[in-house]
């Protein structure tokens, strides 16, 4: 049995997507694949037990149904943090190792999902990625997501900590304008330090899209249009605070965009609807007039009314569009296909000894 820990340089880097893509690939090849997430940061009640929401989702996506307490032996709840700060919690690894042995007993490949930053998250209670992966005796893949630049110092430090157990890294969410630099500078830099780049996954706006119904929940707003229209995907947003003429110029360059504007700006709302925006988000708890609402219904555009001011809503949306969890079936299929096409499976298998 081979164990593979999938970690990342920071949270929301794409670990779940990579784990799912690899798991499904090896399942299609006939491998008996298992999964666990030792440290769960998103408590979720499953039956009468507390597990991790991401781990539960991954189990379902991979067609597995193991005991939540085995899949995620350590769940970070508020009570756990209080105990960890007041008491010594350095004895968590034995329980994680025991769960791993039980789950991997009849498996060919065991995938272990990381949480947060591989080097640092969980350090306060002895369950950081380095400690867990070494206790389990797994190989490691690290996912590094492009955010203005890559964490190449971090990856070099991880190589020093893991040695040959680091089988490679995956550079995720690479914008087209940065791909050449990644290929000609970052990849050779890491190669000279003994780190294989297993794949460069391109940026795809669909992977960070949010359904209008989920957007309303995340913003604490209220949908005021019919439910069938609320499944539209939003991949970006534009703040409507300018004159109509300037707004039209900017809006024409956008695609699958939500328009965020004050509830009293009927002029901008009308232009947005005529341009078939993905959603109309009205701030200040001001409802649209009857003409706007009727046109939105006719065009099939979701309208969301929120209490907060435009600036506050924009900050919330920015976070949602960069941290949207992988749940939608169409996005799952789309994303796993991109990862599988981008990752050099032959090199990965060779480094794993498969």
User: Token pair for residue 175?
Assistant: 């914008």
pLDDT attached to residue 267: 86
User: Which tens digits make up the pLDDT trace of 111-136?
Assistant: 999 999 999 999 988 999 999 999 99
Map tokens 């795809």 to a residue: 204
Q: Mapping DSSP to helix (H, G, I), strand (E, B) and coil, where does residue 200 land? A: strand
Average pLDDT over residues 323-329: 66
- Reading the block at residue 345, the tokens are 């499976």
Cα–Cα dist 269/317, whole Å: 18
pLDDT of residue 169: 97
Q: Do 218 and 196 belong to one domain?
A: no
What's the whole-number mean pLDDT along residues 244-262? 74
- What is the H or E stretch that residue 282 is in? strand 279-283
For residue 147, the surrounding DSSP H or E stretch is none
Closest CA to 186 of 143, 155, 159, 161: 155
* Confidence check: pLDDT of 227 > 70: no
DSSP H or E segment with residue 166:
strand 166-174
Contact (CB, 8 A) for 240 and 350? no
Band (pLDDT 50/70/90 cuts) for residue 242 is low
* CATH code of residue 118: 3.40.50.300
Regarding whether 97 and 188 lie in a shared domain, the answer is yes
Q: Are residues 230 and 313 in the same domain?
A: yes
Q: Are residues 193 and 294 in the same domain?
A: no
Q: What is the mean pLDDT of residues 143-170?
A: 90
Assess whether pLDDT exceeds 80 at residue 86. Answer: no
Is this prediction's pTM over 0.95? no
- One DSSP character per residue, 264-276 reads T-HHHHHHHHHTT
| Whether residues 317 and 186 fall in one domain | no
Structural domain including 265 reads: 210-323
Does one domain contain both 70 and 173? yes
In angstroms, the CA 206 to CA 209 distance is 5
pLDDT of 226 strictly over 80: no
Q: Are residues 111 and 193 in the same domain?
A: yes
Same domain, 236 and 198: no
Tell me the pLDDT tens digit for each residue of 306-319.
999 888 998 888 88
232 has pLDDT over 80: no
Which CATH number goes with the domain that contains 282?
A: 3.40.1390.20
Overall domain count for the chain: 2
Residue 89 has pLDDT above 90, yes or no: no
Identify whether residues 68 and 146 lie together within a single domain. Answer: yes
Asked whether residue 90 falls in the same domain as residue 184, the answer is: yes
140 and 80 in a single domain? The answer is: yes
Q: Does 195 share its domain with 237?
A: no
Residue 115: phi and psi, rounded to 5, are: -140, 125
């Amino acid at each position: 049995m081979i164990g593979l820990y999938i970690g990342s340089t920071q949270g929301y880097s794409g670990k779940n997507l990579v784990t799912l893509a690899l798991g499904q690939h090896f399942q299609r090849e006939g491998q008996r694949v298992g999964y666990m997430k030792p440290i769960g940061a998103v408590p979720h009640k499953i039956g009468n037990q507390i597990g991790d929401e991401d781990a539960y989702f991954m189990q379902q996506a991979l067609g597995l149904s193991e005991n939540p307490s085995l899949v995620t032996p350590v769940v970070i709840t508020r009570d756990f943090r209080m105990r960890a700060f007041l008491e010594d919690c350095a004895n968590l690894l034995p329980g994680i190792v025991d769960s791993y042995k039980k789950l991997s007993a009849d498996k060919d490949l065991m995938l272990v999902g990381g949480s947060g930053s591989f080097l640092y998250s969980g350090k306060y209670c002895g369950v950081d990625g380095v400690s867990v992966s070494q206790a389990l005796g797994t190989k490691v893949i690290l996912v590094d997501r492009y955010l203005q630049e890559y964490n190449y110092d971090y990856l070099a430090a991880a190589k020093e900590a893991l040695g040959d157990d680091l089988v490679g890294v995956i550079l995720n969410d690479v914008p087209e304008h940065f791909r050449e630099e990644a290929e000609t500078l970052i990849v050779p830099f890491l190669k000279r330090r003994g780190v294989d780049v297993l794949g460069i996954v391109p940026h795809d706006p669909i992977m960070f899209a949010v359904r209008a119904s989920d957007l309303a929940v995340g913003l604490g707003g209220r949908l005021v249009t019919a439910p069938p229209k609320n499944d539209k995907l939003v991949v970006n947003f534009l703040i409507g605070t300018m004159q109509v003429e300037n707004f039209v110029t900017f809006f024409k360059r956008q695609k699958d965009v939500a328009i965020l504007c004050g509830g009293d700006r009927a002029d901008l709302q009308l232009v947005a609807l005529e341009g078939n925006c993905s959603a109309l988000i009205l701030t200040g708890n001001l409802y649209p007039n009857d003409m706007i609402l009727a046109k939105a219904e006719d065009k099939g555009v979701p309208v969301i009314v929120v209490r907060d001011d435009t600036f506050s809503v924009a900050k919330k949306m920015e976070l949602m569009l960069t941290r949207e969890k992988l749940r939608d079936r169409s996005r799952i299929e789309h994303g796993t296909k991109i990862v599988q096409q981008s990752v050099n499976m032959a090199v990965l298998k060779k480094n794993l000894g498969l």
